[in-house]
Amino acid sequence: MDELEEFRRYRERMNERILSAGNLGIKRFFALDSRAYEKGALDVKTKELLGLVASTVLRCSDCITYHVIRCAQEGVSDEEFFEALNVALVVGGSITIPHIRRAVDTLDQCRKNNMKTNPSSSSL
């Protein structure tokens, strides 16, 4: 089982555990989170790029992995991907570089897997 699959399974299992705990606030937050990336005035691809850059400047590994996978699924090209990461790098500085290395590593894995499946129906 590869790293991305392991990541997907852990997130899915723990999301189910959390959502079954009966806290309504958390449940609604997860719903809001999913909806924030749905098509509206901005298309899904743009929103995923927004999520990728926000996750990168905040240096959240799992969030970056999630949005890299989603960007790959939405057809983001390599040029677009690196331009978005460049914005994150300039805004967030060299402390984002370790996360940029992993983001590129994840993208390469996605391209290799020709990843098509949604990483999860719900949240980050």
Say whether residue 2 binds its own copies (CB under 8 A). Answer: no
Q: Indicate the residue type of 54.
A: A
CB of 31 to its own copies, least distance (A): 8
Closer CB to its own copies, residue 5 or residue 95? 95
CB of 117 to its own copies, least distance (A): 20
Q: Which of 54, 49, 109 is nearest to 82 (CA)?
A: 49
Which one among 68, 71, 72, 124 touches its own copies, defined by CB under 8 A?
A: 124
Say whether residue 8 binds its own copies (CB under 8 A). Answer: no
3-state secondary structure the chain: CCHHHHHHHHHHHHHHHHHCCCCHHHHHHHHHHHHCCCCCCCCHHHHHHHHHHHHHHCCCHHHHHHHHHHHHHCCCCHHHHHHHHHHHHHHHCHHHHHHHHHHHHHHHHHHHHCCCCCCCCCCC
Say whether residue 106 binds its own copies (CB under 8 A). Answer: no
Touching its own copies, residues 55-94 (CB under 8 A): 55, 57-63, 77-80, 82-94
Residues near its own copies, by CB under 8 A: 10-11, 14-15, 17-18, 21-26, 28-30, 32-33, 35-37, 40-42, 46-47, 49-51, 53-55, 57-63, 77-80, 82-98, 100-102, 104-105, 108, 123-124
